[in-house]
Structure 1
Amino acid sequence: MKQLKPITNKLLWIFALGQFGWSLLSGVVSNWMVYYYTGSPDAQNPNTGIFASGITQNPIIFKLTLFGLVLAAGRIFDAITDPLVAGWSDRCTNKKGRRIPFLRAMAIPFALCTIGLFVLPQTGNIVVNDLVLFILLLVFYLFMTMFCTPYNALIAELGDTQQHRINVSTYISFTFIVGQSISFLLPNLAGALTSLAGQKDGIRLAVAIMAAIACISMMIPAFYIKERDYIDSKPSDTKPFKSLGKTFSNGQFRRFVYSDVIYFFALTLFQTGLAFYETKLMEIEDTWTFLLTATMTFISVLLYPVVNILAKKIGKKSLIIFGFFSYCCVFAITSFCGKGLQWGFIIAVTAAIPMAILGILPQACVADVAELTRLESGEDRSGMFFAARTFAFKLGQALALVTFTSVTVAETKQSYRTTAVVAFICCFIGACIFFAYNEKMILSKIKELKGSDEF
């Protein structure tokens, strides 16, 4: 039997660079597509809706907009492909490993498709633009799934101990929020490039620069980590949808997913609306978005060591529930915030706490359940556990995108406040559901089956 190399924190940090890359691409699309493709400009923010004239804006069914339906369709397609890609990855027999070959193949196409979303739907024909946008979004989400699903499976496989599972979840949470934060620099970077390329092309060039940085970040772990040197994995024999069914048959995993999908519905409403909350409710320029996000990220990162230590001492469950209720406070403040930059900083500081908690610990929970299942069944289906989680929460995200674009079609302050109220209610429900998750039982069984104290 081949002697495996020890998994080190250095290796986990290199692995975490991939999370920075894909979160930057995801952030560009999730944080700015709605902003640039819908809405209307004003004196302070002339770029709001700058690409809106190219696609259909009027509601087509009740208050459902085409753009909202296209985004939702993309997320649903993304959710459906998750178990297919997870099954493909779990059963992969490539000599370089089950996960790394996907990362190497997908980094460049994923980045190029991100650029295309801001460039290609700009013909003189609105119907053609609508169709191009729809197809590109499906391809974007497919490429994201083909990178992220195998990548996420490595969280459980590189997290060979409870210590490593919490550490890798901490590192990828850090790189995730850094990537998301840098994506909020898009208007600032676009503004700096406007004198060279004009308003629209300045935005496109800014997207291209960010996509190039993201691509390099995804390729570093893909080519540095030799998967077979660290992981002795055997391909699964279970077919994708049978594996998905077996995954959802796990009672503890279902309890986790129920709360997770509701939480992501609430969070997606908030994240999609963030630029609008700042520009329409607080009436500040969109170039402030990065500073506010950087403030939130900086405070959140300062809390990472605290979350890491507390998770090992008091458990992940209690902290996650606290994180849910903390986000409820953030959504409540957003629902009644007034004009002025101070409201942006209040929300940024308040949101830093749940961002630190919920950015780290849920992935570790999924890794725990996947590890216990592997020990009990002898079959490693880590990819499917993470795919099943994303399958569920992406459905929540799809519903949130339809809800946001439909509720805010009138573009009134009250419509934006309503989305924050809905987020508050849903997050509260998610917190209540998570009380049913039994973390102590899962960890005690892992310890028992391993026959050693890894904690």
Structure 2
Amino acid sequence: VGFVLGIILSALTNNFADLIQDTFLIRERITAVQYTIWSLSAFSGLAMLLPVLMINERTFAIGRPSHIPLIPAIKNTFRNGNFKYYLISDFAYYTALSIISSGLLFFVTVLLGLPESDGGKFMGVMVLTSLLFYPLINWGAKKYGKKPFVLMAFAVLCLIFAAIYFLGKMPFAPDRAASSRPLAGESPASVRVSAPMRWPKARVRPARSPCQNGILPGTPVAGVTRTLSRVI
């Protein structure tokens, strides 16, 4: 829930800037944007303090010092060929997705000629739409397997991203064209996020790599990367 709200709030930066500029009668647009970013940064810092202050880790985990040095542990992890393939594919996917998602404001303002405040609305639609597909994907991944769903999602995303070239050239209103892109794009994106997360829970076993324990190391890292890309 926090991840979803964070993406939506960060995407609404221009909308908040409009509100601040109109409410406090600020002349300079850049000043209103700066106030908005400062406010969101302060709110984000307070939100990050909540788990630090309120969660007692000893209740949910047992801490034990590691006897394996850092460098040998990393080397041992990368000896797993499957982990290397996963890491490369996950890095490539989220790099491409972040580049295109970060260009949403360009698509809205330049290609479609819409106000920049509409970018936050479309981002909110994308995120909320992706949530609707999670139950269906969890059911389908269990019945048909995760790999077919992920491959299908990649193929659909390629077609959707290629269609960005035609934004502003389609024979219907720009706002309708912009609305169709997030609705279509987040359905396969939700497949890519939720299907791999249906791994079994991790079990503590010594001298085994993260992938062998059922943990997806790329998932939290990719989530942070994607969140930062939205904010930047």
Query: TM-score w.r.t. structure 2 length?
Result: 0.78
CA distance in 1, matches of 2:49, 2:220: 25
Residue 123 of structure 2 is matched in structure 1 by 293
Residue 189 of structure 1 is matched in structure 2 by 16
Return closer, same or farther for 1:311/1:385 CA change in 2, 3 Å cut-off: closer
Task: Please state if 1:343 is matched with 2:168.
Answer: no
CA distance in 2, matches of 1:259, 1:324: 11
RMSD: 3.1
Q: What's the CA shift string for 1:117-139, capped at 9, x where partnerless?
A: xxxxxxxxxxxxxxxxxxxxxxx
Residue 159 of structure 2 is matched in structure 1 by 329
Deviation (angstroms), 1:362: 4.0
Task: Please state if 1:310 is matched with 2:144.
Answer: no
Task: Please state if 1:386 is matched with 2:220.
Answer: no
Deviation (angstroms), 1:311: 3.2
CA distance in 2, matches of 1:177, 1:320: 21
Residue 108 of structure 2 is matched in structure 1 by 278
Residue 77 of structure 1 is matched in structure 2 by none
Return closer, same or farther for 1:312/1:218 CA change in 2, 3 Å cut-off: farther
Residue 46 of structure 2 is matched in structure 1 by 216
- Does the CA contact (< 8 Å) of 2:87 and 2:218 recur in 1? no
- Does the CA contact (< 8 Å) of 1:323 and 1:357 recur in 2? yes
Deviation (angstroms), 1:390: 4.3
Return closer, same or farther for 1:297/1:387 CA change in 2, 3 Å cut-off: closer
CA distance in 2, matches of 1:231, 1:364: 21
CA distance in 2, matches of 1:376, 1:317: 29
* SS of residue in 2 equivalent to 1:178: helix
CA distance in 2, matches of 1:376, 1:238: 10
Task: Please state if 1:201 is matched with 2:65.
Answer: no
CA distance in 2, matches of 1:284, 1:352: 21
Matched letter for residue 328 of structure 1 = C
* Structure 2 runs not aligned, ≥5 long: 226-232
Return closer, same or farther for 1:390/1:242 CA change in 2, 3 Å cut-off: farther
Return closer, same or farther for 1:345/1:379 CA change in 2, 3 Å cut-off: closer
CA distance in 1, matches of 2:46, 2:219: 28
Greater share of residues in helix: 1
Q: What's the CA shift string for 1:429-455, capped at 9, x where partnerless?
A: xxxxxxxxxxxxxxxxxxxxxxxxxxx
CA distance in 1, matches of 2:64, 2:188: 37
- Does the CA contact (< 8 Å) of 2:12 and 2:120 recur in 1? yes
Residue 256 of structure 1 is matched in structure 2 by 86
Pairs within 5 Å for 1:112-127: none
Return closer, same or farther for 1:210/1:359 CA change in 2, 3 Å cut-off: farther
Pairs within 5 Å for 1:69-88: none
Q: Find the partner of 1:319 among 149, 161, 164.
A: 149
Q: What's the CA shift string for 1:15-48, capped at 9, x where partnerless?
A: xxxxxxxxxxxxxxxxxxxxxxxxxxxxxxxxxx
- Does the CA contact (< 8 Å) of 1:183 and 1:210 recur in 2? yes
Matched letter for residue 241 of structure 1 = I
Deviation (angstroms), 1:349: 0.7
Return closer, same or farther for 1:234/1:387 CA change in 2, 3 Å cut-off: farther
- Does the CA contact (< 8 Å) of 2:122 and 2:179 recur in 1? yes
CA distance in 2, matches of 1:279, 1:192: 19
Q: What's the CA shift string for 1:221-259, capped at 9, x where partnerless?
A: 222221111112423222323222221111221121121
Query: TM-score w.r.t. structure 1 length?
Result: 0.42
- Does the CA contact (< 8 Å) of 1:248 and 1:254 recur in 2? yes
* SS of residue in 2 equivalent to 1:338: coil
Return closer, same or farther for 1:268/1:309 CA change in 2, 3 Å cut-off: same
- Does the CA contact (< 8 Å) of 2:90 and 2:218 recur in 1? no
Pairs within 5 Å for 1:104-119: none
- Does the CA contact (< 8 Å) of 1:234 and 1:380 recur in 2? no
Q: What's the CA shift string for 1:367-398, capped at 9, x where partnerless?
A: 87xx47x536368798x97279849x97xxxx
Matched letter for residue 253 of structure 1 = F
Residue 64 of structure 2 is matched in structure 1 by 234
Pairs within 5 Å for 1:167-186: 174-186=1-13
CA distance in 2, matches of 1:358, 1:224: 32
- Does the CA contact (< 8 Å) of 2:105 and 2:116 recur in 1? yes
* SS of residue in 2 equivalent to 1:236: coil
Q: Find the partner of 1:353 among 176, 187, 192.
A: 187
Deviation (angstroms), 1:297: 1.8
Return closer, same or farther for 1:265/1:186 CA change in 2, 3 Å cut-off: same
Residue 449 of structure 1 is matched in structure 2 by none
* Structure 1 runs not aligned, ≥5 long: 1-173, 395-455
Q: How many residues align?
A: 216
